[in-house]
Amino acid sequence: MVSTFTHPARGEDLPVTTTSQAVAPDRDASPSPTRYAAEESERSAVVLEPRHLRVTYGRGANAVTAIGDISFQVRAGEFVSVVGPSGCGKTTLLKALSGLLTATSGEVLVNGQVAHGVSPGLAMVFQEYTRSLLPWQSVRGNVEFPLRGAGRRRKEIAERTREALEQVGLQDFGDKYPWQLSGGMQQRVAIARALAFRPTVLLMDEPFASLDAQTRADLEDLLMRVHAETGMTIVFVTHDIDEAVYLGDRVIVLSHRPTEVKQVLGVDIARPRDQVRTKADPRFVALRTEVLELILAEKSTQQDQGHLD
Amino acid sequence: MSAKAIRMLLGLVVPVALLAAWWFASASGTSPYFPPLSDILHSFTEVWTTDRMATDLLPTLVALIAGFAVAAFVGIGVGLAFGLSGRLRRDFRPVTEFMRATPVVALVPIGLIVLGPGKPMEIALVAIAATWPILVGTADGVRAADQVALDTARVYGLSARRRLFSIVIPGAMPQVMAGLRIATAAAVGTVIVANMLGSTSGLGYMVVTAQQSFNILETWVALLMIGLVGCALTALVVIVERQVLGWHRQWRALDHSSAS
């Protein structure tokens, strides 16, 4: 099935700071029988929106501005990749989005409401799965613990957990401890935990960065399948340009510190995508080249300014 | 035979060999200070099947268990507070360092003055001695709570209370249990010394009176029982530890096997 989603010339990709319609593609009018998140995105509601987010560490002369000014919009069902030069504060951005970190100024809107502290509708998958999963809890216990204590019925929790483990292919491993599983399986447990939580937005902080290449490719495809099945909104931070383009409906390219949104690219590549064919697709190659050039340009200006870290 | 059974049998080789050596060396010995092991064991069963259980063993056990329970309660409670609050930890560091470095045996005279001879003094001293390892272990374990695990819990909306009970405390358990294990030795040592210096009953008192009346056999009998009490308390802690930390033992075993 080929998506009817088409993207305008990339000359229209505006820095998102200046507009809430960074991606306003002239869509093919004919309805498509297959639902793609990207298609939905521009008519569905904005679920996550940082507005002029700024994060400064320290005070006075020692103050370091990690995030200069970040604004963008994420719509329901979208898969947004965030990529930037190394050390550009990607993790800081995610922490500010989730509310783990209080922004120095600016605000984050979740479902249109200004978030104070950690927003209830968000889930996060961390890069460090060994630390994010509790070693004294079984796989099932790890998926269940965020669901407990919110007045949910035991039966509902068990049902959601079973379903989430099935979605990541771990239905037979519920009784194992996470450390009895491989790295890729452990990160699948973390993904299942997020799925069972059914968040408004799933934030992912370089979730596949510490996995080997084959496992990473498997998990990328698993994540795309789950995204298609659930229609969940995902913000996926990565330093891997291929991964960002391969997975995203849009790619937000960040600048070096103090971080701002440098550009937003719409990924006009049909879903379902495929590790072999999509990555050989001229559009994919063109997009990844463009992102790479943007990031290399960022790196060189950073060096010119003597901001090397 | 499984490798585990063989390892267990091998583990018994040294203790059995030592006992055998003691048995044969003392059997033909003429030294009055080292009576034959057979005599000691014979006397052991005689002594500990009479009401000596109540007069000599029970008082020590009561003081030991009560003191240890107080130490566990206070050590874990205060250790939690210290682990959670850097400020508390810093403010109290001079006090904790001083108390940790002071041998509790040196407190027996003060204990005798303040509380007089008897149970309360013994319990208090055991508690003081056993509290420190538990407190330090708990505080370290709580401090070492994994930031990523805590962030995960926060993102998923767990209250501070639930983060404490479902992340911080379970994560600290290995170090809490290590503290409890170390504390058993301190508790047993202290209860015996307190018996010796400030009591008219208990195993420590029994050792001293037997020795002073040149009842060498009974001195050995009491000594053997002290060793057994120490082992029993440690075994108790280990049993609890296995219940609480089954995951940890397997985890470490796995780490070890994959590392080697």
Q: Would A34 be classed as within a structural domain? A: yes
* C-alpha dihedral sign at B165, B171, B175, B177: positive
Would you say residue A36 has pLDDT above 70? no
Q: Would A62 be classed as within a structural domain? A: yes
Q: Would A3 be classed as within a structural domain? A: no
Q: Would A2 be classed as within a structural domain? A: no
Residue among B147, B151, B158 with most chain A CBs within 10 A, to mutate = B151
Q: Which residues of A touch B162 (CB under 8 A)?
A: 149
pLDDT at A305: 56
Q: Which residues of B touch A124 (CB under 8 A)?
A: 151-152, 155
Contact between chains at A177 and B247 (C-beta distance less than 8 A): yes
- Residues A207 and A260 occupy one common structural domain: yes
Q: Which residues of B touch A123 (CB under 8 A)?
A: 155-156
Confidence band for A41, pLDDT divided at 50, 70 and 90: very low
Radius of gyration of chain B (CA): 22
Nearest to A131 among B148, B159, B247 (CB): B148
pLDDT at B98: 87
**Which is higher by pLDDT, A87 or B201?**
B201
Is-contact A210 A125, C-beta < 8 A?
Answer: no
Residue among B146, B150, B152, B173 with most chain A CBs within 10 A, to mutate = B152
Q: Would A127 be classed as within a structural domain? A: no
Quick one: how many helices (H) and strands (E) in chain A?
10, 11
- Residues A96 and A204 occupy one common structural domain: yes
Prediction pTM value: 0.78
Look up tokens 């996995």; give the residue.
Answer: A211
Q: Among A19-33, A178-192, A289-303, where is mean pLDDT lowest?
A: A19-33
Query: In chain A, pLDDT over 90 holds for what percent of residues?
Result: 20
Q: Would A5 be classed as within a structural domain? A: no
- Residues A283 and A152 occupy one common structural domain: no
Q: What is the distance between the alpha carbons of residues B119 and A253, in angstroms, rounded to a whole number?
A: 72
Q: Which residues of A touch B148 (CB under 8 A)?
A: 126, 128, 131-132
- Residues A108 and A209 occupy one common structural domain: yes
Confidence band for B43, pLDDT divided at 50, 70 and 90: confident
Mean pLDDT of B211-232: 90
Nearby residues of A59 by Cβ (< 8 Å), 6 or more positions away: none
pLDDT at B257: 55
Look up tokens 């697709």; give the residue.
Answer: A281
- Residues A100 and A223 occupy one common structural domain: yes
Look up tokens 């050390």; give the residue.
Answer: A87
Q: Is residue B102 within 8 angstroms of chain A, CB to CB?
A: no
pLDDT, tens digit (0-9, with 9 covering 90-100), for A201-258:
999 999 898 888 888 888 899 889 888 888 899 999 999 999 999 999 999 998 888 8
pLDDT, tens digit (0-9, with 9 covering 90-100), for A144-159:
988 887 778 888 898 8
CA count, 13 A, side-chain hemisphere, B78: 18
- Residues A103 and A164 occupy one common structural domain: no
What is the 3 state secondary structure string of A163-185? HHHHHCCCCCCCCCCHHHCCHHH
Tell which of A147, A169, A198 closes a domain.
Answer: A198
- Residues A152 and A257 occupy one common structural domain: no
Domains, chain B: 37-244 (1.10.3720.10)
Confidence band for A8, pLDDT divided at 50, 70 and 90: very low
Is-contact B27 B9, C-beta < 8 A?
Answer: no
Tell me the average pLDDT of chain B.
Answer: 88
Q: Rank A65-69, B71-75, B208-212 by mean pLDDT and report only the highest.
A: B71-75
pLDDT at B260: 37
Q: Is B209 helix (H, G, I), strand (E, B) or coil?
A: helix
Q: Which domain holds residue A82?
A: 10-121+199-304
- Residues A184 and A207 occupy one common structural domain: no
- Residues A237 and A115 occupy one common structural domain: yes
pLDDT at B80: 94
Look up tokens 């190394």; give the residue.
Answer: A86
Would you say residue A33 has pLDDT above 50? no
pLDDT at A37: 47
Count the domains in chain A. Answer: 2
Distance from CA of B131 to the nearest CA of A (A): 26
- Asked if the peptide bond before residue A258 counts as cis, ω within 30 degrees of 0, the response is yes
Q: Would A276 be classed as within a structural domain? A: yes
Contact between chains at B173 and A197 (C-beta distance less than 8 A): no
Tell which of A144, A174, A198 closes a domain.
Answer: A198
Q: Among A26-35, A96-105, A143-152, B136-145, where is mean pLDDT lowest?
A: A26-35
Distance from CA of B138 to the nearest CA of A (A): 17
Q: What is the distance between the alpha carbons of residues A33 and A37, in angstroms, rounded to a whole number?
A: 13
**Which is higher by pLDDT, B180 or B1?**
B180
Q: Would A83 be classed as within a structural domain? A: yes
- Residues A21 and A102 occupy one common structural domain: yes
Q: Is A86 helix (H, G, I), strand (E, B) or coil?
A: coil
Nearest to A136 among B154, B157, B170 (CB): B170
**Which is higher by pLDDT, B108 or B246?**
B108
Would you say residue B68 has pLDDT above 50? yes
Tell which of A181, A198, A215 closes a domain.
Answer: A198
* Chain A, nearest residue to B246 by Cα: A136
- CATH code: domain of residue A24: 3.40.50.300
Which of these, A49, A46, A94, A47, lies nearest to A71 by C-alpha position?
A: A49
Q: Rank A10-19, A23-32, A214-223 by mean pLDDT and report only the highest.
A: A214-223
- Residues A267 and A156 occupy one common structural domain: no
What is the ipTM for the molecules in this complex? 0.78
Q: Give Dmax (Cα) for chain B.
A: 75
* Chain B, nearest residue to A138 by Cα: B247
Distance from CA of B177 to the nearest CA of A (A): 15
pLDDT at A25: 41
pLDDT, tens digit (0-9, with 9 covering 90-100), for B222-260:
999 999 999 999 999 999 998 888 788 888 777 655 543
Q: What is the distance between the alpha carbons of residues B9 and B242, in angstroms, rounded to a whole number?
A: 21
**Which is higher by pLDDT, B52 or B85?**
B85
pLDDT at A91: 86
- Residues A115 and A143 occupy one common structural domain: no
pLDDT at A74: 92
Is-contact B133 B72, C-beta < 8 A?
Answer: no
pLDDT at B251: 80
Contact between chains at A146 and B158 (C-beta distance less than 8 A): yes
Contact between chains at A118 and B155 (C-beta distance less than 8 A): yes
Cβ neighbours of A213 (radius 10 Å): 8
> From residue B58, how far is each of B221, B226, B243 by CA, in Å?
15, 12, 27
Confidence band for A161, pLDDT divided at 50, 70 and 90: very high
Is-contact B137 B179, C-beta < 8 A?
Answer: yes
